[in-house]
Amino acid sequence: MTDPSASLSFFARFWLAWLCFWRCLVSREFAQAVLPTSRAYDAGQLKELPSGDTQTPPPVKTPAVQA
């Protein structure tokens, strides 16, 4: 994280770690989704991962004005 405004407090990080710990134990799918990111972080290649924000939001439909 290079953006200081995006940093989390100690308690926010602690809560996130607690939630991720239990979710990894309970959900195989969650653990499988987290594993590549964890490995990339350990290898120093975190910035090379796709951001996951590749979907474009659906277009907003405006109601037709009837005269």
Q: What is the sign of the dihedral through the CA atoms of 48, 49, 53 and 54? A: positive
Distance CA 39, CA 21 (A): 16
- How far, CA to CA in Å, does 19 sit from each of 16, 30, 36, 67? 5, 11, 18, 54
pLDDT in tens, 24-67: 999 999 999 999 988 988 888 878 777 655 445 555 566 666 65
Q: With a cut of 70, say whether residue 12 has pLDDT above it.
A: yes
**pTM to 2 decimals?**
0.55
Distance CA 39, CA 26 (A): 20
